[in-house]
Structure 1
Amino acid sequence: MLFDQLKNPRFFGPDVTSVQLLQTHISYVALTGTYAYKVKKPVNFGFLDFSTLDKRKHFCEEEVRLNKRLCPEMYLDVLPITKKDNTLELDGNGTIVEYVVKMKEFPQESIMTNLLMQRKISEKTIDHLCAILVDFYNLQKPSEDVKKYGELSSVKQNIDENFDQTRPMIDVTVPKETFWSIKDMVTKFFELRKQVFGQRMKQGRIYECHGDLHSGNIAIMGDAINIFDCIEFNDRFRFCDVASDIGFLAMDLDYLDYPYLSSYLIEKYIEKSKDLTIYLVLNFYKSYRAFVRGKVYGFQLNDPHIDPATKNDIQNAAKKYFELSAYYARLFSLDFEKQRPVVFLVAGLSGTGKSTIARKIAVDYHGTQINTDVVRKQIAGIDQYEPHHDQINTGLYDPKKVEQTYERVMQYASVSLKKGENVVIDATFQKKKYREMACHMARKYNALLLMIQCICPDTVVKKRLEDRLKGKSVSDGRWEIYLSQKTTFEPFSSEEICLTLDTSEESYTYRMNFFHQLLSQVYQVK
């Protein structure tokens, strides 16, 4: 009866002419044009209990209170649904049978997920979003009750619950091999890296977070960013390491085929928060969050109102999340399985996207990214963003200064390798002798060297370089420089085994195949 009423415009008042009804595994949301009304389903999943009217009322009130932290103008009130003479009314005077959260409605096209699909989210948006989140965390003074949720036992409770609740979905949404592989790697992490949880607690990185921080819960309208629908139903999902919160959004961007915005988000978060140890747990929490999303999608399969075609889409989405969770698990497993540091040599001509790829690799493998454009200007004692459009082989790009730049890069890389840390060298590597410098350094420190060459069609490179000139960049690359580099680049020899990445290929499958291929190479010689 309630389900049908939520689709009826008259239920929401005489001015409402249409209703769009959305649903998740735990709620219905009726969109009426001006206001949105959210009703919690009478479900009990163990970690969430909306099974009684009193509980649903309580969590409606909590939802309004908690979400006012990040979007105070959106959440308005909790209203009763009443029943009188066998008729349901919104905020009527009959017997209360349900409660709704009343919110201001915003256009569905303003949801960040939809904006991503239209390529309308830029690094500038991520900067703004990151600043909001860092301020949100920094303004808090977490109590001891909140901090204790960072303990190994609390984290393990959430993880174990996930696995238990997903078992019925084995070979439905998650292949048996994937399920047990992830579980085994998580178990090893708890055994071999358990000290990192206490370390994060001591550093004050446990907060009352959002808890469900993905692009579907972010609305962007002009310069206004509203982060809504936080976790209200379970403290242990909201009280967590900030890495679990920020890692959720980074995972979501990876899932939606925006891996480079994902790595940019992490880079900017660290820059603004000074949270230098997030890498100790980032891939762990990204794996956890992807697993949670796969589990939640699986829950929807039990809904009798979902048609067969939608069920198929849900199964495919869940499988994709579990595959992503396994990828992150293989990444965090390197922390206790690999014996040697890795030097990632990321080469390519100007405008082929090597710096973007290098940043992604640096985030995934928590390596130090060393960029020749930055080092070149450090040596010259100038700001890294100061443009120097010198002629080829002159000024900062005189062959002797280029040689000096590569030597300094190797020095910086050596410092990290001595500590057993991964390094990502981001440079043109136009001449073989520069690649040989990296090979010699890797051998000296018993490091694994992996070479990646970024390529791209000329038309795409030209557009990128033209766009770069309009903004702020550490690179001085220009179209004429690219054309010159094409004629002088010394190709990789048969002895120089390298992976090639066409950065103009933007499909999720292509990109993930490359990332898996790279990870497999690390594992082969770890």
Structure 2
Amino acid sequence: MTTDPYEAQRPIIDALSSPETYPPRDGVDSVEVRETHSAVVFLAGNRAYKMKKAVDYGFLNFTTLRNRRFFCYQELFLNQRAAPEIYREVRAVIPNGRGGYRIVAEENPAAVEYLVQMVRLPEDMMLNTRLERDEVTPEMMAELGRIVANVHVNAETNDRIAAAGDLEGVRFNVEENFEQTEAYIGRTISQETYDIVSNYARRFMRDRESLFHSRSQNGFVRDTHGDLHAQQICIEANGRISVLDCIDFNERFRYGDVAWDVGFMAMDLEARGHANLARAFVDGYLEQADDPGMPELLPFYQCYRAYVRGKVEGFRLDQPDLSDEEAAAVKERAEGYFRLAEQYARTMIGPNIVLIGGLMGTGKSTLAEGLARERGHTYISSDVVRKELAGVPEDERHFVEWNTEIYSPEMTERTYDELARLAADALQQGRSVIVDGSFSNAQQRKRFTDLSSTTGVPLLMVICELSEEETRKRLDARVEEGGVPTDGRWEIYAAQRDSFQPPDELPAASVLRLDTSASPQSVIDTLVSHLDANTLE
């Protein structure tokens, strides 16, 4: 009868779960224990100790004491790159001669286990928790981006590492994902989503072969973090940002293009509903890093990372001890990640420009925001941009006469210039873009038809239409509710209506008129169906 090596660790786990195991000088009154699939963490006083479980999952093997010692040092070395003040040293566990155990220096020959000793961080300061409390600012994420860029600049690279992130290495990982998820079609991922993402990924790799090769040859494939998401980041009250818990157990999951770290973090922020923070993180990274090629590659890795997260969540459905409630939650998370991967794939198929225009109160913003959610496209609002240019809060009301103050013709020109600039930036990154504005004359639209011509990106002009009776109801309700960037109201509706110029200069195939009197989701579905049936490519 063979002994499960993890079960043999139970006496040590029990001992480390007790305050008596720790030196009196440490002042440990209680110990909190956290378990993962491969480790046990003991939170004792102002320190944290991490012990690797004696398990073998194929992609990691901690079954021997020698391996656990080696990977403790790997964890220490690799994480000191980003958080040297947090990851302190490797310690040994030895018998204390009284049936228990104690923690001593690593080199002790009586060692029966090894631990990574860290500074204990406040759990309520972890990024995922602070995001839930809406405490995270774009400035924090920009600083995180700069920190990650500095880690990448100093990370190791060599011929073996570079080969792992070249096209063949990437293709192996991507195809493995598709093979491993075939069995989950109809369970966590639809056939349509599977086809859209797999076709997009294969086409991207085929069309960007030279991009992958150049990045591999020019030092952009490095020994990265490998698992960079919100649960691995701590932002303390004093502003210190720590990047924690990189992958130490398998080089294959760590060797890759720096864009796959950046893509993971950006994807995770977007999955949590913080697209603005994702942009700030990427902008901070690019501000610090000399990496002009990353924007072209980033959406590919965001799609890849979302798909991997969906895959890993789906695997949990095969665990026999899951309750029905837990299985339903796992399934929902997996489906959400796969839908996000599809959004990334769809927004990169093209890309394209969608202008959402029409008179005030006709549902432009509701439609534009809804389409952005459905497709993952970059959303740009003229109301928000106008107030940013004017230096006023986006929800601050400015009820002024038509064509005056922040709605003067001069300010409107500045606003549409900035909309076009932001759209061009998004297109340069390979993203489809949705621009929300009235587009009430040919000159405003010309900025975008010119952008379409110079970039070769197709354009669709959507005109929202609604009866004046219903428009008035919506405008009056919006004035009462407040809390939105737009200042549209019935008193100036007629002036806009009388000056509105239909988009007759555009080809008929590039214009879609939508009756927005139905429910918002119904209107969004109509537009999505039109886009699917009339691919803009």
- The alignment's TM-score, normalised by the length of structure 2, stands at 0.71
Choose from 24, 37, 47 the match for 1:25.
37
Residues 149-164 of structure 1 aligned to structure 2 (within 5 Å): 149-164=164-179
Q: Which amino acid aligns with 1:273?
A: A
Change in 2 beyond 3 A, CA 1:86/1:33: closer
Residues 60-94 of structure 1: CA deviation (Å, up to 9, x unaligned): 11111111111111112222334577945242679
What amino acid is the match of 1:256? R
1:329 — aligned with what?
345
Please give the alpha-carbon distance, in whole angstroms, between the structure 1 residues aligned to 2:411 and 2:282.
Answer: 30
Deviation at 1:35, TM superposition (A): 1.9
Are 1:10 and 2:8 an aligned pair?
no
Q: Which residue of 2 aligns with 1:72?
A: 84
Distance 1:29 1:427, change over 3 A: same
The question of 1:250 aligning with 2:270 is answered no
Q: Distance in 1 between matches of 2:295 and 2:198?
A: 20
1:194 to 209, 219, 228: 209
The residue number in structure 2 matching 1:448 is 459
Q: Which amino acid aligns with 1:524?
A: A
CA distance 1:316–1:21, shift in 2 (3 Å): farther
Asked if structure 1 preserves the Cα contact closer than 8 Å seen for 2:233 and 2:242, the reply is yes
| Distance 1:419-1:12 versus aligned 2 partners, 3 A rule | closer
- The answer for the alignment partner of 1:44 in structure 2 is 56
Q: Is the 8 A contact 1:126 1:265 kept in 2?
A: yes
Question: How do residues 150-229 of structure 1 correspond to structure 2 at under 5 angstroms?
Answer: 150-166=165-181, 173-175=188-190, 178-179=193-194, 182-202=197-217, 204-222=219-237, 223-229=239-245
SS at match of 1:497: strand
Equivalent residue, structure 1, for 2:246? 230
Q: Percent identity?
A: 26
State the 1:525 CA deviation.
2.1
The answer to whether the 8 A contact 1:34-1:104 is kept is yes
Unmatched segments (≥5 aa) in structure 1: 378-383, 466-476
Give the CA deviation at 1:311: 4.5
For the pair 1:136 / 2:151, whether they are aligned, the reply is yes
SS of structure 2 residue aligned to 1:126 = helix
The answer (yes or no) to whether the contact 2:382–2:437 under 8 Å persists in 1 is: no
Q: How many residues align?
A: 487
Alpha-carbon distance in structure 2 between the residues aligned to 1:188 and 1:443: 22
In the TM superposition, what is the alpha-carbon distance from 1:227 to its structure 2 partner?
Answer: 0.7
Question: Which residue in the other structure is 2:134 paired with?
Answer: 119
Specify every segment of 5 or more residues in structure 2 that has no aligned partner in the other structure, as ranges. Answer: 1-6, 393-397, 465-473, 504-510
Q: Is the 8 A contact 1:81 1:97 kept in 2?
A: yes
Q: 2:153 and 2:523 mapped to 1: Cα distance?
A: 37
Give me the whole-angstrom Cα distance separating, in 1, the residues matched to 2:32 and 2:359: 49
Q: Residues 394 and 64 from structure 1, CA distance in 2 versus in 1: closer, same or farther, beyond 3 angstroms?
A: same
Alpha carbons of 1:87 and 1:488: their partners in 2 closer, same or farther (altered >3 Å)?
farther
Q: Which 10-residue stretch deviates more, 431-440 or 20-29?
A: 431-440
CA distance in 2, matches of 1:312, 1:415: 41
Question: Over residues 105-137 of structure 1, what are the superposed CA-to-partner deviations in whole Å (9 max), with x where a residue is unaligned?
Answer: 112110100111111112121122122222333
Query: How far, CA to CA, are the matches of 2:112 and 2:181 in structure 1?
Result: 32
Shift in Å, 1:458:
4.5
What residue is the counterpart of 2:275 in the other structure?
A: 259
Deviates more, 1:257-266 or 1:87-96: 87-96
Residue 443 of structure 2 corresponds to residue 431 of structure 1:
no
SS of residue in 1 equivalent to 2:460: strand
Aligned residues of 2:266 and 2:281 also touching (Cα < 8 A): yes
Tell whether 2:353 aligns with 1:342: yes
Amino acid in the other structure paired with 2:19? R
Aligned partner of 1:157: which letter? F
Instruction: Give me the whole-angstrom Cα distance separating, in 1, the residues matched to 2:197 and 2:432.
Output: 27
Answer yes or no: is 1:108 the counterpart of 2:123. Answer: yes
Please give the alpha-carbon distance, in whole angstroms, between the structure 2 residues aligned to 1:415 and 1:229. 37
- 2-structure distance, mates of 1:115, 1:60: 29
Once structures 1 and 2 are overlaid, which stretch shifts more, 297-306 or 320-329? 297-306
Task: Report how far residue 167 of structure 1 moved.
Answer: 5.4
Aligned residue for 2:103? 91
Distance in 2 of aligned mates of 1:143 and 1:305: 44
Do 2:355 and 2:437's aligned partners in 1 also have CA atoms closer than 8 Å? no
Aligned to 2:469: none
The question of whether the paired residues in 2 share the 8 Å contact of 1:127 and 1:265 is answered with yes
Q: Alpha carbons of 1:452 and 1:235: their partners in 2 closer, same or farther (altered >3 Å)? A: farther
Q: CA RMSD in A?
A: 5.1
Q: Is this contact kept in 1: 2:33–2:40, CA < 8 A?
A: yes
Change in CA separation of 1:49 and 1:435 when aligned onto 2, cut-off 3 Å:
same
Is the CA contact 1:29–1:36 (under 8 Å) kept in the aligned structure 2? yes
Partner residue, 2:3: none
Mapped pair 1:316 → 2:327: no
| CA pair 493-179 structure 1, distance change in 2 beyond 3 A | same
Answer yes or no: is 1:296 the counterpart of 2:312.
yes
Aligned residue in 1 for 2:73? 61
Quote the offset at 1:163 in angstroms: 3.9
Retained in 2: the 8 A contact 1:291–1:322?
yes
Cα deviation for residue 194 of structure 1 reads 2.5
How far has the Cα of 1:218 moved from its partner? 0.2
**TM-aligned CA distance change 1:391 to 1:105, over 3 Å:** same
Comparing 181-190 with 23-32, greater Cα deviation is found at: 181-190
With normalisation by structure 1, the TM-score equals 0.73
Q: Matched residue of 2:56: which SS?
A: coil
Larger of the two Rg values belongs to structure: 2
